[in-house]
């Protein structure tokens, strides 16, 4: 095709294509016209379009030149033959001797043996391959770079049309595969159990483009420049702003954005794509697809990570080009939120509306997952490709207990899902029956079960769950829900309401635990290379005594004359505890001096979340009123494995024998020193783990409300002496984890432990 580099040739072809696409006719007729047109314009004897029928197969959907009977009859596996290879690698293949080319496969139905030269390009949209466009010629000929370029441009337009459903007939049976119409089963990591069914809401909806071909190159260029200026302005503002945390972005990501946004090469490539006759939107996608396939071949994980930044930037530019049409629609009640990742604050913003959450990234131990569990919103994390595979509004069912997600489920999957809902209701009835029964093991050990909470809407479950009280009230969640710092009076009102709702049952308030992944939009974010090991929790409280004291005063006021229990998060050295306690004493004295009422009793505990505190002196333990083991953080520091990073988090087990030895040592010490001990990490809510904790000496466990029933049910079925024997045996045999033996034992005994496996 002559003149593609200057855009003249492809512009003529695209103009003709626009005319064809505007003509009335069904999807098949349109496709047939496209192949005829492309074959004619590119002087090829064959032009064929293969589209993905499902994840693994391409189907010949239209051809000019190959045997017409092959259409919709021939299908190729991704990775097989030249066409399959193009789809797999997302790269063009051109050869003057197809039969000799590596990977060639002869398909008799097409009668293609007559054609020697072959050129094919992927039909792709933002890195997602939807099909393959091929031309063939009888004579052996080398296709020029310009010709391949032209073919790629046509493929871009076909991709947009495919995505927009232009090749379908609007009927139930579609001869032409539509993008993302097939049911898809996915498995991620179970992060919050529960069953949910609803329409998909994409956190970042895919942009739809209905004008792939430029009507006027000049005006498209002007639109691009306008959008680019707006995009650069946004990013400069973000980088300049003090409130980066409010956007949920990290500074290094924004710096990477800025670098890409000002990249001259990017702008040049976009302009060239417009020059070739594409609209500004499709030009952005074309350049992005090329960048993606280049970067996907890079082995360096850091650079590959930057792919996300590039995608985000391209999406932002597209939204500027599309204006209001590119905005996210309102979230529908009962929707399943599909996102790449989400922070705990954002999750709480949507909490009232959503029935379930599926994330492509995320982690089981992240605070977003904890919030989801607190709110009983089923959640699956690490569900790869889910944002790409889902259309807005698609039906989605989520089984948060096993991490299963079904997109556009068929009748059988839905029936099985509804069956699970019935079984879950029956189990809930059983747990209800246990509500007023004690968690007493067969050997006569009584375990106190408390619930974790953090937002007022948690508290109604206190009554129904049978929890003895609130073992961990995460006060920071209230702070995260707000746009500005709540004042002392407002805080005090919240704490008073929590105690009212507890109706005399004990509540342990944990003072502000912010930092790491718990960010307050209204607090300046401090850049730290490793926030999990950074300035957070009690460290921040002690360095910001005004903020900390304000909370302590609010807690005292909220309690009135009722007993008050509170604990400090992530105490690492005894001195931190003493200093925090001294601030509390000052606050109490101040209240008394002003003649205000003070709580009848004040109990002050330390959260044991760092291995360092486990080895603090006996004197320190004796100074505390109680110790609460925060197993989530303790695990991440013990194993040196970031709780937010699934790749490393998953490698280590709470039932690892070294970790159990640490937990047992803590229990023995607290017992000897007569310090009340509890465990409030997520592991307490998993039945098998809860049994192991009880066996090593924990008599008080705090978990989310929904876990109390299953944990109590199992505890009532076990003899802890047997578990201790299993542990001794596993230690003697130098096992790594107690889990395999515990699982075998519980299966042999037919115990109800299968709610979670890990």
Active centre residues (catalytic): 367, 680
- Residue 706 interface partner, choices Mg ion, ligand PEP, none, CB cut-off 5-8 Å depending on type: none
Minimum distance of Mg ion from residue 358's CB (angstroms): 25
Minimum distance of ligand PEP from residue 159's CB (angstroms): 44
* Interface pattern 498-517 for ligand PEP (x via CB under 6 A): ---------------x----
* Interface pattern 633-652 for Mg ion (x via CB under 5 A): x-------------------
Binding flag, residue 692, ligand PEP (CB under 6 A): no
Count CA atoms within 13 Å of residue 229 on its CB side.
5
> Which of residues 633, 642, 646, 689 is near ligand PEP by CB under 6 A?
633
Q: Do 425 and 399 touch, CB atoms closer than 8 A?
A: no
Helices (DSSP H) in 572-656: which residue ranges? 574-593, 611-614, 618-623, 631-638, 646-649
Which residues ranging from 616 to 635 are in contact with Mg ion (CB under 5 A)? 630, 633
Phi, psi of 314 (to 5 degrees): -60, -40
Minimum distance of Mg ion from residue 569's CB (angstroms): 6
Binding flag, residue 123, ligand PEP (CB under 6 A): no
Q: Do 717 and 751 touch, CB atoms closer than 8 A?
A: yes
Helical packing angle, 687-695 and 720-732, nearest 10°:
80
In our burial notation (b when 16+ CB lie closer than 10 A, e otherwise), range 154-174 reads bbbbbbbbbbebbbbbeeeee
Please write down the long-range contacts of 720-725, taking CB distance under 8 Å and 24 or more positions apart.
720/441, 720/443, 720/445, 720/691, 720/694, 720/695, 721/443, 723/691, 723/692, 723/694, 723/695, 724/695
Based on CB atoms, which residue is closest to ligand PEP, 319 or 367?
367
* Interface pattern 650-689 for ligand PEP (x via CB under 6 A): ------------------------------xx--------
Q: Cα separation of 690 and 170, whole Å?
A: 54
- Which residue number places its CB atom closest to Mg ion? 633
Which residues ranging from 427 to 486 are in contact with ligand PEP (CB under 6 A)? 472, 474
Q: Cα separation of 687 and 751, whole Å?
A: 10
Binding flag, residue 389, ligand PEP (CB under 6 A): no
Based on CB atoms, which residue is closest to ligand PEP, 389 or 633?
633
Based on CB atoms, which residue is closest to ligand PEP, 122 or 681?
681
Structure tokens at 136: 């063939």
Residue-wise DSSP of 365-380: TSHHHHHHHHTT--EE
Minimum distance of ligand PEP from residue 628's CB (angstroms): 8
Distances (CA, A) of 347 to 77, 201, 342, 377: 40, 13, 7, 10
User: CA nearest 471: which of 420, 500, 513, 508?
Assistant: 508
- Residue 567 interface partner, choices Mg ion, ligand PEP, none, CB cut-off 5-8 Å depending on type: none
Helical packing angle, 264-275 and 217-240, nearest 10°:
160
Minimum distance of ligand PEP from residue 276's CB (angstroms): 53
- Residue 472 interface partner, choices ligand PEP, Mg ion, none, CB cut-off 5-8 Å depending on type: ligand PEP
Burial label, 450 (beta-carbon count in 10 A; 0-12, 13-18, 19+): buried
Minimum distance of ligand PEP from residue 510's CB (angstroms): 7
Cα Rg of the chain, angstroms: 31
- Which residue number places its CB atom closest to ligand PEP? 630
Q: Is 106 left (phi over 0), alpha (psi -120 to 50) or beta?
A: beta
Q: Do 711 and 685 touch, CB atoms closer than 8 A?
A: yes
Based on CB atoms, which residue is closest to Mg ion, 27 or 630?
630
What length does the chain have? 758
Q: Do 555 and 564 touch, CB atoms closer than 8 A?
A: yes
- Residue 631 interface partner, choices Mg ion, ligand PEP, none, CB cut-off 5-8 Å depending on type: ligand PEP
β-strands 46-52, 57-64 pairing: antiparallel
Which residues ranging from 591 to 610 are in contact with Mg ion (CB under 5 A)? 609
Helices (DSSP H) in 42-112: which residue ranges? 81-89
> Which of residues 27, 65, 630, 710 is near ligand PEP by CB under 6 A?
630
Binding flag, residue 531, Mg ion (CB under 5 A): no
Minimum distance of ligand PEP from residue 636's CB (angstroms): 8
Based on CB atoms, which residue is closest to ligand PEP, 701 or 730?
701
Based on CB atoms, which residue is closest to Mg ion, 576 or 609?
609
Residues in the interface with Mg ion (CB under 5 A) total 3
DSSP class of residue 325 equals: G
Binding flag, residue 642, ligand PEP (CB under 6 A): no
Based on CB atoms, which residue is closest to ligand PEP, 632 or 656?
632
Minimum distance of ligand PEP from residue 212's CB (angstroms): 48
Minimum distance of ligand PEP from residue 499's CB (angstroms): 20
Minimum distance of ligand PEP from residue 708's CB (angstroms): 16
Helix (H, G, I), strand (E, B) or coil at 687: helix
- Residue 680 interface partner, choices Mg ion, ligand PEP, none, CB cut-off 5-8 Å depending on type: ligand PEP
Which residues ranging from 606 to 625 are in contact with ligand PEP (CB under 6 A)? 609
- Residue 277 interface partner, choices ligand PEP, Mg ion, none, CB cut-off 5-8 Å depending on type: none
Which residues ranging from 349 to 378 are in contact with ligand PEP (CB under 6 A)? 370
* Interface pattern 177-196 for ligand PEP (x via CB under 6 A): --------------------
- Residue 370 interface partner, choices ligand PEP, Mg ion, none, CB cut-off 5-8 Å depending on type: ligand PEP
Q: Which residues bind Mg ion (CB under 5 A)?
A: 609, 630, 633
Q: Which residues bind ligand PEP (CB under 6 A)?
A: 370, 472, 474, 513, 609, 630-633, 680-681
């Amino acid at each position: 095709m002559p003149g593609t580099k200057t855009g003249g040739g492809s512009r003529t072809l695209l103009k003709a294509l626009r005319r064809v696409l505007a003509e009335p006719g069904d999807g098949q007729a349109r496709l047939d016209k496209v192949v005829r047109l492309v074959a004619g314009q590119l002087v090829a004897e064959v032009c064929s379009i293969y589209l993905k029928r499902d994840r693994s197969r391409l189907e010949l959907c239209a051809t000019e030149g190959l045997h017409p009977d092959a259409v919709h009859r021939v299908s190729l596996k991704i990775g097989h033959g030249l066409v399959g290879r193009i789809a797999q690698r997302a790269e063009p293949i051109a050869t003057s001797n197809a039969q000799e080319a590596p990977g060639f496969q002869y398909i008799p139905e097409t009668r293609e043996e007559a054609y020697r030269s072959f050129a094919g390009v992927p039909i792709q949209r933002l890195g997602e391959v939807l099909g393959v466009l091929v031309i063939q010629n009888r004579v052996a000929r080398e296709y020029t770079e310009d010709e391949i370029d032209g073919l790629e441009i046509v493929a871009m337009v076909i991709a947009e049309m495919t995505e927009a459903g232009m090749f379908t007939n609007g009927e139930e049976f579609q001869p032409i595969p539509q993008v993302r119409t097939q049911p898809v089963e996915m498995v991620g990591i179970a992060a919050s159990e529960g069953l949910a069914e609803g329409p998909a809401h994409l956190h970042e909806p895919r942009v739809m483009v209905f004008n792939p071909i430029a009507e006027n190159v000049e005006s498209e260029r002007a639109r691009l420049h306008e959008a680019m200026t707006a995009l650069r302005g946004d990013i400069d503002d973000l980088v300049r702003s003090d409130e980066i945390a409010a956007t949920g972005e990290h500074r290094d990501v924004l710096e990477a954005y800025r670098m890409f946004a000002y990249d001259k090469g990017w702008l040049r490539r976009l302009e060239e794509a417009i020059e070739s006759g594409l609209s500004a939107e499709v030009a952005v996608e074309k350049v992005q697809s090329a960048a993606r396939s280049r970067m996907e071949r890079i082995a360096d994980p850091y650079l590959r990570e930057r792919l996300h930044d590039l995608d985000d930037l391209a999406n932002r530019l597209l939204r500027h080009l599309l204006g209001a049409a590119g905005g996210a629609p309102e979230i529908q009640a009962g929707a399943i939120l599909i996102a790449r990742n989400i922070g705990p604050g954002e999750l709480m913003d949507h909490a009232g509306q959503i029935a379930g959450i599926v994330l492509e990234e995320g982690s089981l131990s992240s605070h977003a997952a904890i919030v989801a569990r607190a709110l009983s919103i089923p959640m699956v994390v690490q569900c790869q490709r889910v944002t790409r595979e889902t259309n807005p509004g698609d039906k989605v069912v989520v089984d948060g207990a096993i991490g299963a997600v079904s997109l556009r489920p068929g009748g059988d999957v839905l029936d099985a899902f509804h069956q699970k809902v019935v079984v879950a209701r029956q189990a809930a009835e059983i747990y209800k029956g246990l509500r007023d029964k004690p968690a007493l093991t067969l050997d006569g050990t009584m375990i106190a079960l408390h619930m974790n909470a953090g937002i007022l809407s948690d508290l109604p479950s206190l009554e129904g769950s049978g929890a003895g009280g609130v073992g961990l009230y995460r006060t920071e969640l209230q702070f995260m829900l707000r746009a500005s710092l709540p004042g002392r009076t407002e805080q005090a009102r919240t704490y008073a309401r929590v105690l009212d709702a507890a109706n005399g049952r004990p509540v342990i308030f944990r003072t502000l635990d912010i930092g790491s992944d718990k960010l307050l939009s209204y607090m300046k974010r401090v850049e730290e290379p490793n926030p999990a090991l950074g300035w957070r929790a009690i460290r921040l409280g002690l360095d910001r005594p005004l903020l900390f004291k304000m909370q302590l005063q609010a807690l005292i006021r909220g309690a009135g004359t009722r007993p008050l229990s509170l604990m400090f998060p992530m105490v690492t050295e005894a001195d931190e505890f003493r200093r925090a306690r001294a601030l509390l004493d000052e606050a109490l004295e101040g209240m008394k001096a002003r003649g205000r009422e003070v709580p009848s009793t004040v109990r002050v505990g330390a959260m044991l979340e760092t291995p360092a505190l486990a080895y603090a002196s006996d004197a320190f333990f004796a100074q505390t009123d109680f110790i609460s083991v925060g197993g989530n953080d303790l695990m991440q520091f013990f194993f040196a494995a970031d709780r937010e990073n699934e790749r490393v988090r998953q490698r280590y087990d709470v039932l690892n024998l070294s970790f159990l030895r640490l937990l047992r040592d803590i229990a023995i010490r607290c017992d000897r020193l007569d310090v009340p001990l509890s465990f409030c990490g997520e592991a307490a809510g998993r039945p098998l783990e809860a049994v192991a904790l009880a066996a090593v000496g924990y008599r008080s466990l705090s978990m989310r409300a929904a876990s109390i029933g299953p944990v109590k049910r199992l505890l009532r079925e076990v003899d802890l002496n047997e578990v201790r024997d299993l542990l001794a045996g596993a230690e003697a045999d130098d096992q790594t984890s107690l889990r395999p033996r515990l699982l075998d034992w519980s299966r042999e005994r037919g115990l109800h432990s299968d709610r979670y496996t890990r």
